């Protein structure tokens, strides 16, 4: 534990940790940017490749459904031609199947697409039955016109034949099956009285009663098909409306997700950048400014006092890191210099007593002192060299923090219009304090480097 604590207290360890944290923030911001860029790209591709084509396909299916309804209404209003209607129904279904195939490519719309297709086929079946029923009505009407012409041309000499012709004429305009059945019974009574054969043939087989009965049945069938058409059309309208609504919601949801993803990525990157600048500023302020620079300033002051001749005051303890080692080396230098000073004083007094031997002893003392000072100079030069590297790193890190802070300030300036005046004023105050603190770190770091260079020069001398 002691070894771990000693390693932790060293400046190099803390600098490496700070560098690792900066690298971690850089990698984190890069990972966030890549993740949200890929996510936004995926959502944009889904919007272009699935949601928008599905919405367009839903509108195409709605147009084809409207065409089917128009065909059915045309058939019920006796307009159009059989060939054109048959081809149009087939073509509409084919185009609708193609459009719904595109829409069903989106999993959320597959069920709605199938419901629209089922309703479309149901409506198409009703339209085909309407076409068949309309053609049958036309054929029955043509047969009725032919019979009407024959009735107009027919004549009779006896009362029964004339009565049979009257019954047949009324049968041509019978309003329902009951009325037609009553006229049939009346015609049967007259038929048994041996009416004219040409008149009798108009009521037998495919005569007036059969044709009129077919007309009544076909018109009743037309009413049933009209109700079925209304129901199928309403069902198709409902499924198409659901498909359009869900396709629109899917497209809007995908677009909203893409926009939200972009906004989230931008927000996280901004937060990471702000956190990086805040951490760098706090590290520079609390650790570099209040820690390293303050202790180096105390050592610099003590060294100036020593240079002025104050060797009695001990060098204060400033920690157990590299700066502490430098302080310990300076304390050793002070003690040795003080010892040398005392030795010189003793030798001077001793020389006054022994003049003959003083010159030789003084020379020996000077040689010893010079050797000690040379060794101490080498030690000071080595320590100065060791501490100059972390001081250079501190200065460079502070300058880099200033550059990062300038970039952050430019980024935050783009959001000032969205801030209140109080928040904007607070941001300006914080920016000035941070900028001033970083400048002080750079200035004091330069002063510390100058001190180290002077120590190195002293060691060389």
**Residue range(s) in the chain whose domain bears CATH number 1.20.120:** 1-147+220-262
Q: Considering only 122-131, 212-221, 344-353, which range has the smallest mean pLDDT? A: 344-353
CATH class, range 1-147+220-262:
mainly alpha
396 pLDDT band, cuts 50/70/90, is confident
Q: What is the rounded distance in angstroms from the CA atom of residue 300 to the CA atom of residue 448?
A: 8
Largest CA distance in the chain: 193
Read off the pLDDT of residues 215-255 as tens digits, 9 standing for 90 and up: 889 888 888 888 888 898 888 889 988 888 888 888 787 77
The CA-atom distances, in angstroms, between 40 and each of 4, 35, 51, 258, 263 are 46, 9, 15, 5, 10
Q: What is the rounded distance in angstroms from the CA atom of residue 357 to the CA atom of residue 352?
A: 10
Read off the pLDDT of residues 40-51 as tens digits, 9 standing for 90 and up: 666 566 666 677
Pair 142, 217: CB distance under 8 Å: no
Q: What radius of gyration, in Å, describes the C-alpha atoms of the chain?
A: 54
Angle between helices 110-153 and 208-282 (to 10 degrees): 160
Pair 103, 250: CB distance under 8 Å: no
pLDDT cut 90: percent of the chain above it: 0
């Amino acid at each position: 534990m002691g070894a771990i604590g000693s390693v932790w207290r060293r400046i190099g360890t803390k600098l490496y940790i700070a560098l690792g944290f900066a690298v971690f923030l850089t990698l984190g911001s890069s990972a966030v940017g890549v993740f949200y860029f890929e996510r936004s790209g995926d959502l944009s591709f889904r919007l272009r490749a699935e949601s928008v084509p599905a919405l367009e396909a839903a509108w195409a299916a709605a147009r084809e459904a409207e065409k089917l309804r128009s065909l059915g209404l045309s058939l019920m209003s006796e307009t159009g031609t059989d060939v054109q209607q048959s081809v149009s129904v087939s073509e509409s279904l084919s185009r609708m199947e193609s459009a719904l195939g595109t829409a069903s490519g989106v999993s959320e719309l597959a069920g709605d697409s199938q419901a629209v297709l089922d309703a479309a086929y149901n409506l198409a079946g009703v339209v085909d039955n309407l076409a068949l029923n309309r053609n049958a009505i036309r054929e029955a009407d043509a047969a009725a016109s032919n019979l009407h012409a024959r009735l107009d041309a027919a004549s009779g000499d006896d009362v029964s034949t004339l009565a049979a012709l009257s019954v047949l004429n009324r049968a041509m305009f019978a309003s329902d099956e009951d009325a037609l059945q009553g006229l049939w019974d009346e015609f049967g009574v007259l038929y048994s009285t041996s009416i004219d054969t040409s008149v009798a043939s108009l009521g037998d087989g495919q005569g007036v009663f059969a044709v009129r009965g077919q007309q009544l049945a076909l018109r009743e069938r037309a009413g049933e098909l009209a109700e079925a058409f209304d129901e199928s059309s309403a069902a198709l309208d409902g499924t198409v409306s659901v498909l359009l609504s869900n396709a629109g919601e899917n497209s809007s949801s995908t677009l909203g997700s893409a926009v939200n993803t972009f906004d989230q990525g931008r927000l996280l990157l901004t937060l990471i950048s702000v956190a990086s600048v805040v951490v760098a500023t706090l590290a520079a302020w609390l650790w570099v400014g209040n820690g390293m620079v303050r202790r180096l300033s105390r050592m610099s002051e003590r060294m100036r006092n020593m240079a002025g001749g104050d060797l009695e005051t001990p060098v204060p303890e400033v920690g157990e890191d590299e700066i502490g080692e430098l302080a310990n080396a300076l304390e050793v230098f002070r003690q040795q210099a003080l010892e040398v000073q005392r030795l010189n004083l003793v030798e001077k007094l001793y020389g006054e007593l022994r003049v003959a031997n003083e010159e030789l002893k003084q020379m020996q003392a000077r040689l010893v002192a010079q050797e000690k000072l040379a060794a101490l100079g080498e030690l000071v030069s080595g320590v100065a060299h060791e501490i100059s590297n972390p001081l250079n790193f501190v200065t460079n890190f502070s300058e880099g923090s200033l550059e990062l802070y300038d970039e952050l300030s430019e980024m935050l300036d783009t959001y000032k219009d969205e801030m209140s005046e109080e928040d904007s004023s607070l941001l300006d105050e914080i920016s000035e304090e941070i900028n001033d603190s970083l400048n002080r770190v750079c200035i004091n770091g330069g002063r510390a480097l100058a001190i180290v260079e002077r120590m190195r020069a002293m060691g060389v001398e």
